[in-house]
Amino acid sequence: MNRPAAPKANTATAPALSNRILLVSGSLLAAAAVAFAAPAAFAQSQPGGGAPLTIQAVTERPSLNLSAYGEVKTAPDMATISFGVVTEAATAAEAMSQNAARMNQVMAALRRAGIAERDVQTSGLNLSAQYDYVQNEPPRLRGYQANNRVTVIINDLDAVGTTADAVVAAGVNQIDGIGFGLKDPTSAENQARQIAVRNLQAKAALYAQALGVPLGGIRSLTEGGGYSPQPPQPMYARAEMAMDSGATPVAAGQLTVRIDITGVYDLER
């Protein structure tokens, strides 16, 4: 009597599952290898709509962080004078009235000297009580002082001395200072920039040579400094200035325009 055939063992199931596991594992390893090998960022969406996961490989490159500057000497083409009229009187109203009368004379003298109204600016107006102080006695009111100060731009340097003499003759009794500047500093600043860049390049090349590595390209460049008007310098004047036969001598000299820069250079490996 023939026995029924025994059921065949399911020997193909296990290898098929193993192959699927190996296939999935190989895919994950390949994806991870691509993510870490690529120099750029690799993004993959997260389950549940979360933010993408970004994996980025960053390689630090050696660099030089250097600074340099460029300077240009140039002759000024304008001047600024600051002066004032100070008056004292027994009452505040009288001090202001006397001051206004003398300042009107000063303004007229400026117009006669060829100074445009746009180049004249009131820089201060002050009225204050004046006291006499005696030991062991209370302060005693002496009167009031009015002070009106004006700043004037002079575009003709040859007229600086004669303008100073003219305003003193008209009633100015205080000259605070004189400063020289440039109407348009663009040309001088551009020359200083070119000098600064050449100095920076030379310094970077020197460092790279000393280190024994090739110099790469510049990564960033930052500028600082630039032209700034010269602050007024003290200029002392007396009423006798206007009595002299010649104009008050004024020397303009030279101005220094400076540009500071900072640059970052790559160093080749």
Per-residue pLDDT tens digits for 101-133: 999 999 999 999 999 999 999 999 999 999 999
Q: Is 15 helix (H, G, I), strand (E, B) or coil?
A: helix
* H-assigned helices in 122-177: 160-170
Is 159 buried (19+), middle (13-18) or exposed (0-12) by CB count in 10 A?
middle
Name the pTM for this structure.
0.64
- pLDDT above 90 (res 92): yes
> What per-residue confidence (pLDDT) applies to 34?
39
